[in-house]
A and B are shown apart, each in its own frame.
Chain A
Amino acid sequence: MHRAAFLALLSHWRRQPLQLIALLFGLAAATALWTGVQAINQEARSSYDAAASALGQGTEQRLTGEGPIPRETFIALRRAGWLVSPVVEGQVNGVTLLGVDPFTLPPMAASPNLQGDRLGAFLNNGLILANADTAPALAGYNVETAANIPDAQATMDVTTAWEVLGKTGFDYLVVTSPQPMGLPPLTEVAPGLTQVTEEAAGDIANLTRSFHLNLTAFGLLSFAVGLFIVHAAIGLAFEQRRSMFRTLRALGLPARNLTLLLAGETAVFALLAGALGVVLGYGVASMLLPGVAGTLRGLYGASVPGSLTLDLSWVLSGFAITFAGASVAAASSLWRVATLPILAPARPRAWAMASVRGRLLQAGAGALLLVISAVIIAQGEGLVAGFAMLGALLFGAALMLPFFLDLSLRAAAFVVRGVLGQWVVADTRQQVPGMSLALMALLLALAANIGVGTMVSSFRATFTGWLDQRLASELYLTAQTPAQAAALEALLDAEADATLPLRTAQARLVGAPAAILGVVDHVTYQQGWPLIEAAPDPWARMNAGEGAFINEQLWRRTGLAMGDRLELLPGWSLPIVGVYTDYGNPEGQAMVAQPELLARVPDLSPLRYAARVAPERVEDLRKAAEALGVPAGNILDQASVKRFSLDVFERTFLVTGALNVLTLGVAAIAILASLTTLASMRLPQLAPVWAMGLTRARLARLELLRAALFAALTFLFALPLGLAVAWMLLSVVNVQAFGWKLPMLAFPVEWLRLLALALLAALLAAALPAWRLGRMAPSRLLKVFADER
């Protein structure tokens, strides 16, 4: 009996293959985007964990000294039993060189891979390892690529680093954990050294948390969009099978068993769709991961591999979310079956229609959510509140969409003339309830697109303008050795219009790693560093060593006000007299007068200079600097720095663009699924018109028009919503996530492009049902007038 009943239930899907495909694909797509995002997050997390044990990134104990540590000190420590490993650090062409001793280096993620012939070359032939992105910057050296080396970093033997950087000692010693028992104290073995804790990795995890939250929010949004599809498909299938349920019940199948059978059916679908979804999710993740890796690198300097490892945990989580989603989508239908009177009539059309009261109720709930969102804006704080606010706004607006569509179509009915036009409007209006879930999905996708697109474009415009202003110097040069630096400074003093030596010290400001920038008194800075907050006479006070500027990130994070004292180094604090914008930098930064900084931190390398020089003399100066032995790669002109920065920026938002397109794609599928499932129910609407003299082809064209009309109306509603989203992203979420606030700019051309995209998506989705209508056998249309439905 149960087997027969189950087969009878399943037979429905054989007759409605498109509905089955919509159901499975909707569920699979929802699962795919969700698991894809999870897989990416997981990959990133494990690579942070790996990085946490990697050289130069992890929570690491180090021994540092005043100046370079002699080799003898290292040997003395080892002979005393201290497990330490020496590191030589330096910069070449913007790449951080790390000279390591493979014999004593503790195991870590970014250890050089020295398989095959590499060890000999590494130890004796100056082999340098860098990843494929970084390797070109080291042209001329004996470089081989190694994927595990973080971006803008290169690893080599200490002896190689000595030669390249012109050093003889070490910059610091890594302290291995655990140490042997009973070591002599450091003060006895190496009195000049102090033990410090480096904590960059924890900061990376913190910094990127907002990004992953962002990604997760996108994944959830996509999942919700997918569930709209599933809910529509399951709900319709249940309604269409009511007469079958009636028969099965009449034949003696208890309601409980019928419900269980249907739940079992849902479980089977969830299993199938889950498998498909996880596979697709893996594909999505593999496709997106390079973009995500680029974003993380560009925005935070975090290194995440561009390839994916299969992990059982997200496979399982994928199945779990599929089952959860299918249960949510099927719950109301199952409930109705369980409580269905045996002889309830089939009313598939009633299912697709919602009562006016229901629509108003839904709109009311939506309005309530919008109010909640507004309350969060006023009261909330923190990133989670930011996303809660966005969520309330988006879903509130989505709930109000049917009401809005109905209203606009009612208004359109007054405007439209012509019998067919009026019919199309009236018919479209009647279709709103059946289409509303899919259109809500489209609304969410469009609003997210407009919102994120506006944010990225606003950011890009602001960032480009800021770069133009900030990068005022024509040449940026880095010397390799102090001697070279002296020669370079002499050259620049003689040849350039102005020499701006750049000195940076690493420090901890208000408990987090930060840089202190020492600048000289020059008008370039006053022109290039606009202050968004300043005390009276800020530049004079900063240059006189009586105050410090801090970047926007530090300012927003700490809540420091003008005049508050900031401790820059132990025993050195200055009042804050200005705040400057510093986009793209995840860390805090302070700017002080260079003489003051050098007085406290005398030995600051690397030795960088910015030079102001007339554009036509840039090439001459470059050649002169090269003649001093400064490597060509260490001389950057303004244009290349800008190009590099913008390149980083573009990589940063690569993944956002990809996710936008994917979400829009899922919405298009939702429309397709709805149109397909509604197609058979729409025949009673179409058959009379056909009988009265409209060809099927014409009806099909009108169906396309109707889909376009829906998309256009939804877009109309999505535009203000998207702008609200953009405003929230720029003014609330960005401030929380990155520490900077950006002005919002409008990009109407992008909106038009998106409108075109939305229309295209709707037309593509409507194409198949329309094509089927255009070629439908007349007998099917004629049946409408004879069938008992």
Chain B
Amino acid sequence: MNVKALLTLLFTLVAGSFSQAQSFAGLGEDADGFALPVLGDQFVFPEDHGPHPAFRIEWWYLTANLIGADGRDYGAQWTLFRSAREPRADATWQSPQTWMGHAALTTPEAHYAAERFARGGSGQAGAVASPFAAWIDDWEMSGSDTLGELRLTARAGGFAYDLTLDAQGPLVFHGQDGHSVKSAEGQASRYYSQPFYEVTGEIETLAGPMQVTGTAWLDREYSSQPLGRTQSGWDWFAFTFPDGHRLMAFELRDSQNADYQSGSWIAPDGRVTPLQPGDFEAEPNAWTDVDGRRIPTSWSFTYPAQGVDVELTAVNPNAWNDLVFAYWEGPFRFSGTHNGTGYLEMTGYE
């Protein structure tokens, strides 16, 4: 258990086990020889679809809003995290790179989540840019070098899914050319997405298999010091509008300073309008007790610049990833000035 707890610590920077922030506070201040995102850097593809061992942390993060043959809402999550103890990679079992995978499946009644860990250098987990593949054990995301077409599989004790993804638009870069600022102090990451996937495939639970269709959103992000010292958690929203627009918005909650907001308004053709702090407002209006914590599972969200004023409701308020590092991640529906679906991630609730 303790091993897992510590591996979690390594990955906390990624997903933010913020209660333990003090124990790795040093990492937030100093990159320890790791590379830092520089404003003005340009992405180079397909290379940047692969791993960046010089950065401390990185992820391939896919969420899918699905509708089953039964007409009900489902959600799927597939995430591969990379974390480095030192800014180098080698192909030995002593590589300082480590990998963690999270897979989850949400139904209106149930939420399944599983995790995997692997050391770098062994081949058990990894990612390559071309031909594109990211995997841990038999969980795999692979496909074209443009990430335009992907196949996504995961399988655990009580669930499995096998999804085919087809992008309907270009990659989008957040912030300024992918330089996404995370705090007023200037911590930043390299951050791009493919938010335009259409999905077909099959999910399976103990109740049996189910054909699904829907949309999916891939986030790619890497960094070496993603959080400010006093930031205690985040709420991340991804909206899919029926007219083809997408909206990504996140709020980093801060224990001492003002919460930090950022995001992107994405047109159907991929044009990005970055959101500045204060551009949107997200207010919880219903809470659910999950695993002994109070989690906001219904929100009022307004983005006046685009006339967005909607109410978000979780498909399943209990979409709690009860893993070594636990957080809430699940699909939602929204209604109001606009109707649609999206994915919500909430970390740092204790």
Contact = CB atoms under 8 A, between A and B. Distances in A.
A contacts B: CB pair < 8 Å: yes
B6 A114 contact: yes
Contacts of A182: 155, 160
A105 B138 CA distance: 17
B40 interface: no
A158 B94 CA distance: 10
B204 A79 contact: no
Contacts of A119: 3, 6-7, 10
Contacts, number: 81
A159 B2 contact: no
A680 B122 CA distance: 84
B117 A104 contact: yes
Given A78-B124, A124-B94, A181-B204, A102 B3 contact: yes
A111 B7 CA distance: 14
Contacts of A120: 85
Interface in A130-180: 158-159, 178-180
A83 B139 CA distance: 12
Contacts of A180: 138, 155-157, 160
Nearest to A118: B6
Nearest to A108: B1
Nearest to A80: B138
B118 A159 contact: no
Contacts of A80: 138
B118 A104 contact: yes
B124 A112 contact: no
Contacts of B93: 71, 158-159
Given A123-B119, A180-B156, A181-B157, A113 B2 contact: yes
B98 A103 contact: yes
Interface string A112-130: 1111001110011000000
A505 to B, nearest CB: 30
Q: Which of A103, A111, A158, A182 has the most CB of B within 10 A?
A: A103
Interface string B233-271: 000000000000000000000000000000000000000
B1 A111 contact: yes
Nearest to A180: B155
B2 A111 contact: yes
A114 B157 contact: no
A83 B135 CA distance: 15
Contacts of B156: 180-181
Contact of A79 (B10, B137, B158): B137
Contacts of A178: 157
Contact of A124 (B2, B96, B159): B96
A283 to B, nearest CB: 31
Contacts of B336: none
A79 B138 contact: yes
B3 A71 contact: no
A615 B325 CA distance: 61
Contacts of B4: 107
A103 B2 contact: no
B131 interface: no
Interface in B1-37: 1-7, 10
Nearest to B4: A107
A546 interface: no
Interface secondary structure of A, over-half rule: loop
B284 interface: no
A490 interface: no
Contacts of A112: 2-3
B186 interface: no
Nearest to A109: B1
Interface string B184-204: 000000000000000000001
A101 B159 CA distance: 26
A343 interface: no
Q: How large is the interface on A (under 10, 10 to 19, 20 to 34, 35 or more residues)?
A: 20 to 34
A181 B137 contact: no
Interface in A49-83: 71, 74-75, 78-81, 83
Nearest to A105: B3
A580 B3 CA distance: 45
Contact of A115 (B2, B96, B98, B138): B2
B117 A103 contact: yes
Interface in B118-136: 118-119, 122-124, 135
Contacts of B1: 107, 111
A180 B96 CA distance: 28
A79 B157 CA distance: 16
A71 B122 contact: yes
Nearest to B124: A78
Contacts of A181: 155-160, 204
Q: How large is the interface on B (under 10, 10 to 19, 20 to 34, 35 or more residues)?
A: 20 to 34
A113 B1 CA distance: 8
A179 B155 CA distance: 10
Nearest to A177: B157
A111 B5 CA distance: 12
Contacts of B159: 181
A180 B157 CA distance: 4
B2 A81 contact: no
Interface string B93-128: 110101000000000000000000111001110000
Contacts of B155: 81, 180-182
A75 B122 contact: yes
Nearest to B156: A180
Q: Which of A81, A111, A113 has the most CB of B within 10 A?
A: A81
B137 A81 contact: yes
A120 B93 CA distance: 13
A30 to B, nearest CB: 40
B85 to A, nearest CB: 6
B104 to A, nearest CB: 14
A79 B135 contact: yes
A104 B7 CA distance: 11
Nearest to B93: A159
B231 to A, nearest CB: 24
Q: Which of B6, B96, B156 has the most CB of A within 10 A?
A: B6
Contacts of A103: 3, 7, 98, 117-119, 124
B6 A179 contact: no
B6 A78 contact: no
A581 to B, nearest CB: 43
Contacts of B118: 78, 103-104
A112 B2 CA distance: 7
A107 B1 CA distance: 5
A179 B123 CA distance: 21
Interface string B153-194: 001111110000000000000000000000000000000000
A113 B3 CA distance: 6
A75 B122 CA distance: 8
A75 B123 contact: yes
A726 B92 CA distance: 61
A454 B118 CA distance: 57
Contacts of A74: 124
Contacts of A111: 1-3
B1 to A, nearest CB: 5
B164 to A, nearest CB: 18
Nearest to A103: B117
A124 B119 CA distance: 12
Q: Which 5 A-B pairs have the closest CB atoms?
A: A81-B138, A102-B3, A103-B117, A113-B2, A180-B155
30 contacts: A71-B93, A74-B124, A78-B118, A78-B124, A78-B137, A79-B135, A79-B137, A81-B137, A81-B138, A83-B137, A103-B118, A103-B119, A103-B124, A114-B2, A114-B6, A119-B3, A119-B6, A119-B10, A123-B96, A124-B85, A124-B94, A158-B93, A159-B92, A159-B94, A179-B157, A180-B155, A180-B156, A181-B155, A181-B157, A182-B160
Interface of B: 1-7, 10, 85, 92-94, 96, 98, 117-119, 122-124, 135, 137-138, 155-160, 204
Given A103-B98, A103-B118, A124-B96, 19 more contacts: A71-B93, A74-B124, A75-B124, A78-B124, A79-B135, A81-B137, A81-B138, A83-B137, A103-B119, A115-B2, A119-B6, A119-B7, A124-B94, A158-B93, A180-B138, A180-B160, A181-B156, A181-B204, A182-B155
